[in-house]
A and B are shown apart, each in its own frame.
Chain A
Amino acid sequence: MTNPVTDGIDQVKTWIVKRHPDRQDIAGDLDLIENRLIDSLSFVEFVFLLEQVSGRSIDMDTLEVDSIRTLDAIEQHFFTARVS
């Protein structure tokens, strides 16, 4: 049986790696913003993806930077809550 949490975060990781072919993998605690894997322009598309994968609408104005700073934070804020 597939796990919706790991499925979701894997889709997010795949989306990032596809846009950064110099990377094969992304550690869960890697700062996506400091390492320029997400910038202002890709951030809008990233939120678009997160909404589709998590099934939740996201208000860009109130979104906290730290909630998408790492894959671990994304998993905690957008996927774990939905399953429990």
Chain B
Amino acid sequence: MDIVSVTRVRRLLDEHGEEFFTRMLVPSELADCRTSTGLDVLSLCGRIAAKEAAFKTLRVRNRFLPWLDIVVQRADGGWPLVDLRGSAGRMAAASGISQITVSISHDVDYAVAVAAPILTER
């Protein structure tokens, strides 16, 4: 699980601009978070919380969250799907995880996300 403060992310956006988030979200994720007036902070927070929650299920030590390898896509039905790429895929395989399911919620000041790993069938 993870919780992200809107105040914290808005400060990052104000101080560093949208370009800063290209280190954390791939272009398709940024597009999902974009509205007619620019990046939607609550959507950003939801994506960040989902990536952190998913990373925690991988149970890895001494590694930083590979932000661009844990990609949160939006399914046609609107629910989030986690795509584990590159190093995140390797971490998952090493932990016996085939997929991660995640649920996101946000309201005014915070976004929260809950993630659950789906284990590889033996």
Residues of A within 8 A of B (CB): 40-41, 43-45, 47-48, 60-61, 63, 65-66
Contacts and interface: CB of A to CB of B under 8 A. Distances in A.
Contacts of B64: 40, 43, 60, 63, 65
User: What class of interface size applies to chain B in its complex with A?
Assistant: 20 to 34
Interface of B: 4, 8-9, 12, 16, 20, 23-24, 48, 52, 55, 62-69, 86-87
B62 A43 contact: no
5 contacts: A47-B23, A48-B16, A60-B23, A61-B69, A61-B87
Contacts of A66: 62
Contact of B23 (A40, A44, A65): A44
Q: Which 8 A-B pairs have the closest CB atoms?
A: A40-B65, A65-B62, A44-B23, A40-B52, A44-B24, A43-B64, A61-B66, A61-B87
A41 B4 contact: yes
A4 to B, nearest CB: 24
Contacts of B65: 40, 43
Nearest to A43: B64
A63 B63 CA distance: 9
Contacts of B86: 61
Of the candidates A41, A44, A60, the one having the most CB atoms from chain B within 10 angstroms of its own CB is: A41
Contact of B12 (A45, A60, A61, A65): A45
A40 B113 CA distance: 15
B64 to A, nearest CB: 6
Given A40-B52, A40-B55, A41-B48, A48 B66 contact: no
A53 to B, nearest CB: 15
A43 B87 CA distance: 18
A43 B51 CA distance: 14
Contacts of B23: 44, 47-48, 60
